[in-house]
Amino acid sequence: LKKAEAKVPFKRLNKPLDVAKILAFLCSEESGIMTGSIVDFDQTVAGWHSYSAYDTKILDDSILGEWANLNQFMKKNKIKNTGVEVTKLSFGTSSLGSMPDTYGYEVPEQRAQETLRRFFQGPVNMLDTSRNYAMGESEKRIGIAIKQNGGWPENYVLSTKIDRNMDTLVLDKKRTRESIEESLKTLNVNSVDVLFLHDPEYVKDINDVTKKDGALDELFKIKEEGLAKAVGLAMGKIDIMFPILK
C-alpha cells in the first residue's frame, strides 16, 4: 500500500482515473489484500465511459500504467454444476440507481443507460444487482437497457438478489416469491443466472429465513423451477452466515 500511496492520491477518489488506479492496484498481486474473486467497479465504468478512457482494449496501459494488465481477471470461473461462467471482475450496480446519500453523487438516467450499453460491449460478463438497490431503481434502469438491447446478451451473467420488505423488514417464503417475481418483471427477463438471498442479518425474524418452508427453502425451490441457475447468500455478518450455510 505504501508503494501505491506514492502514485495514487487516496484522498481524492472523486476522480474516475483515481478510482481506476485503485481498482487496478487492488486486483494486482502486489496488493495481497484481495478478499474475494469478484470486485465491484460500478463507479469506474461510468467514469471511464464519460472520460472516454475505457477503450476497446482491456484497461489501456496508457491509462492505468503498471497496474493495467488485468487480462488475468477477465478469465472465467465456472460455478459448479450450473453451466454458469463468470469473469473475475463483475459490474456492481447499487449506485447505478442513483444513491447520493450513500455514494455522495447522483447518477442521471442517461448516464446510467450509457454505462449499461458500455457494459454490454464487454469484456466483463457479470452484472450484479438487487431488488432493493436504490429501492428498485437499479433494476428498473437495467430492465430498460435489457429491453433496448433486444434482450439479455448471450454468455453474459445476470445476478440479482432476494430482498426483505423494506417497510416490514420481513423476509419469509411469501416475500421471497414476491421479490423474484418483481425482479423478473422489472428486468424484462424470464429467469436470472444467479440469485442471492440478501442481507438476512437485517430481517425482522431470522427464523423466517431458516425454518422449514421458509425463505431459504423457497430460494432453492425457485432454482428447481428454472428461474435461477445458481443460488447463494449475499451478506456481511459471517457469524450469522456460516450457521445458515450449514
What pLDDT shows up at residue 4? 52
Rounded to whole angstroms, the Cα distance separating 133 from 93 reads 8
What pLDDT shows up at residue 60? 41
234 in helix, strand or coil? strand
Rounding to the nearest 10 degrees, give the CA dihedral for residues 51, 15, 73, 108. Answer: -60
What pLDDT shows up at residue 38? 37
Cell numbers given for 194: 444467479
What pLDDT shows up at residue 241? 84
| Other residues' Cβ atoms within 10 Å of the Cβ of residue 110 | 8
Contacts of 131 (CB under 8 A, 6+ apart): 139, 160, 161, 162, 163, 179, 182, 183, 198
What pLDDT shows up at residue 11? 53
Contacts of 1 (CB under 8 A, 6+ apart): 31, 33
**Contact yes or no for 122/91 (Cβ under 8 A):** no
Rounded to whole angstroms, the Cα distance separating 115 from 117 reads 5
What pLDDT shows up at residue 81? 87
Q: State if pTM tops 0.75.
A: no
31 in helix, strand or coil? coil
Question: Phi/psi of residue 237, each to 5°?
Answer: -90, 105
What pLDDT shows up at residue 189? 98
Rounded to whole angstroms, the Cα distance separating 246 from 244 reads 5
| Strands in 80-207 per DSSP E | 84-87, 89-92, 126-128, 157-162, 192-198
**Residue-wise pLDDT tens for the chain (246 aa)?**
556 555 554 455 556 666 666 666 666 655 544 333 333 333 333 332 222 222 333 334 444 444 445 566 678 888 888 989 998 888 999 999 999 888 888 999 999 999 999 999 888 899 999 999 999 999 999 999 999 999 999 999 999 999 999 999 999 999 999 999 999 999 999 999 999 999 999 999 999 999 999 999 999 999 999 999 999 999 888 888 888 887
CA–chain centroid gap for 112, Å, is: 14
Could you please report the per-residue DSSP string of 98-114?
Answer: --HHHHSS---HHHHHH
What pLDDT shows up at residue 63? 41
Question: Phi/psi of residue 114, each to 5°?
Answer: -65, -40
